[in-house]
Chain A
Amino acid sequence: MPETTSRRGLIFGAAAAVTAGGLLTACTSNEPSDKSDDKKTDDQPVADDKKGKQVTIGFAGPQADHGWLNAINDNAKERAKKYADVTLETTEGSNDTAAQIGQVETLINKKVDVLVVLPADGKALTQVGLKAMRAGIPVVNLDRIFNTPQAYRCWIGGDNYGMGLSAGHYIGEQLKDKKNAKVVELAGLDNLELTKQRTEGFDAALKNYPNIKKVARQAAEFTVESGQAKMAQLLQAQKNFDALWNHDDDQGVGALRAIKQAGRDDFLMVGGAGALSAFEEIKQDRGVLKATVLYPPTMAASAIDLARALGQGKGISGMAEFEIPAHLTLYSAVVDKKNVDQYMPTGFK
């Protein structure tokens, strides 16, 4: 109990400090109008592109063994370079919980101003998030959420359930005039919570379209190899269907391969996550892939923005508050032939 009290007090203290900072900023903004010309950029309540207080951001992500994770790392680094007042300290990245805990602790010991953490496993790394918060280093939790809000100051991530909704609605609208339409689903790793959420969102969206029935679902493993193997089996099991939702564009490379190998082109396909290869297929419009639903790796860039604002004691552009929000869930936009050009630069390889 004393420890708990101590922990809570520390966190409250940190929050109070942030609040006090906000209040001070608010007081400053209420200076008499005849002195407004003298206001320094540092005193503005909202972070902008102008150089401000120097901030060291620690970034710890998982090992980039998938294109999306690789894009996360790239987005974070590129964004940090954009700001003269940001110093980025990165770890090499690991998918092993113990190793990643060690890496985060290294950043804590370096006394960075703000931590950005994309945990390999959100629940398993909660303790190290708490440790950072207790050490007075606020944490921006990226995507895979920690077990308790006390382990982070702000969470930003994608919407897995929303991916399913977007895919389901897109397919639903394409097939709404077709009687007894059949759809199949190619999921990612089935032992992950996010995969279940995607499927739940998909099923929920399809409920809006009584003419559509989901006739099969198989899970691949977010890899090209598994995508090809499972899709080949789905095609064999289902001789006729009208649409396919594949959860992940990386395994989608394999799925498209299986579709081509089987010589099938009698259905439409929607992908997931937003790979460059998927965007290119959609743009060319020569195959079955007509759209993909995003899970934006640009969230890492936004996390850097949030960490910088947090480190400078400011809010973010586009929001009236003097502090960054506690949670930000990103929208899963549909990318199809009409808007693919706009998204091309964000595609992961």
Chain B
Amino acid sequence: MSQPASTTSPAAPKSDPAAKHPRVLRLDVRTLSLLGVLAALVVIGGITQPDSFLDTDNLQLVLTQASVIGVVTVGMTFVIISGGIDLSVGAIVALAGVWSTTVATQEYGFAGVLFTAILVGVGCGLVNGVLIAYGGMVPFIATLAMLASGRGLALQITDGKTQMVTVPGVLKLGERDSYVLGIPPLVMVFVAVTVIGWLVLNRTTFGRRTVAVGGNAEAARLAGIDVRRQRLYLYLLSGLCCGIAAFLLIVLSGSGQNTNGNLYELDAIAAAIIGGTLLTGGRGTIVGSVLGVLIFTTIQNIFALNNLQSDVQQIAKGAIIVVAVLVQRRTASTSH
């Protein structure tokens, strides 16, 4: 299935505009489906809780809550499109968060906290990348090892204690005073990462190579792409996103905890999947994944506003994932 797709790809520039039309249409159908689901959720929220759902505060709330996992998901999407997987994103968020909130790190102020979070994220991504790209380890195993090591190291650093943020600049970033035109800074970062992610995936050589590696790694290698280096860069990218997410999370929660980022890997993978990313690689969009994040966050929001408990939320989430995958299969059949 993927081979015909890759065969079609090089031919695309030489074909007449009509050949491009089906591809664009297919993308639009998927995106429109997700937007439809989101619109349906907005209607449901608006009907069940008109006073609290449909207002600026709630929009800010949903987007803020989507921002941390959203940034992680952008990185995860790149990795999955390349045919890989990253189970360690939650652990990396926790580790970067606790490392950047130690008393020693906070002495360096805002810049110290931010730099440390990103550096730890990229560092973990580098370890993952080297093990997978050059060590020949299966992504699932390598990132599973990083998950365990990252959590363990985070626990060791904190000794189970909650590390409070004391740097005023970091705390202030999460408060209402910092909103610009009513937009929380965390949301701005999320939007920026999304836009940059979209541009990188769709408008750069790096992005095209990512899709090529995921579609058919051997063909990509024969085409002259350094597959190993590409994979390394992708895990670095995922680690970078985790570092940014860790910073956003400590701004949001005002602290670093070894339990932060719990099950982020599952949330990110789930959002990418319902967004249309194939776990086998070779296909996926940033827009789809971000819409996936927004769908899950909106559902969570509607449940909370209606005072429904979290066990029902988990069931709903699982149901949506199943439906999304079934719809994907139907779409895949149609494309054949």
Chain A residues in the interface with B (C-beta under 8 A): 63-67, 69-70, 190-191, 216-219, 221, 223-225, 227-230, 232-234, 236-237, 239, 250, 253-254, 257, 260-263, 275, 277, 349
Contact = CB atoms under 8 A, between A and B. Distances in A.
Contact of B305 (A65, A67, A191, A233): A233
B160 A225 contact: no
B333 interface: no
A218 B255 contact: no
Contact of A253 (B164, B300, B311): B164
Given A239-B51, A253-B164, A260-B175, A228 B252 contact: yes
A261 B173 CA distance: 10
Interface string B121-165: 000000000000000000000000000000000010001111010
17 contacts: A65-B259, A67-B161, A67-B162, A191-B311, A218-B304, A218-B307, A225-B257, A225-B259, A228-B254, A232-B61, A232-B64, A232-B65, A233-B304, A237-B305, A239-B51, A262-B176, A349-B162
B261 to A, nearest CB: 8
Interface extent on B, as a size class? 35 or more
B58 interface: yes
Contacts of B52: 236-237, 239
A254 B253 contact: yes
Interface in B228-269: 249, 252-255, 257-262
Contacts of B57: 236, 262
Nearest to A66: B160
Given A63-B160, A217-B307, 18 more contacts: A65-B155, A67-B162, A190-B309, A191-B311, A216-B307, A218-B310, A224-B162, A232-B65, A233-B300, A233-B301, A233-B304, A237-B52, A237-B304, A239-B52, A253-B162, A253-B253, A254-B255, A257-B252
Interface of B: 49, 51-52, 57-58, 61, 64-65, 155, 159-162, 164, 174-176, 249, 252-255, 257-262, 300-301, 304-307, 309-311
A218 B154 CA distance: 28
A223 B257 contact: yes
Contacts of A257: 174, 252-255
Nearest to B68: A225
A233 to B, nearest CB: 4
A261 B259 contact: no
Contacts of A70: 159-161
A65 B160 CA distance: 4
Per DSSP, chain A at the interface is: helix
A225 B260 contact: yes
Contacts of A250: 162
A295 B48 CA distance: 38
A241 to B, nearest CB: 12
Contact of B162 (A218, A221, A236, A277): A277
A221 B259 CA distance: 10
A349 B162 CA distance: 6
Given A233-B301, A277-B164, A225 B249 contact: yes
A154 to B, nearest CB: 26
B160 A69 contact: yes
Given A216-B307, A225-B259, A236 B253 contact: no
B155 to A, nearest CB: 6
B56 to A, nearest CB: 11
A209 B104 CA distance: 49
Of the listed residues B258, B300, B304, B306, the one surrounded by the most CB atoms of chain A closer than 10 A to its CB is B304
Contacts of B260: 223-225
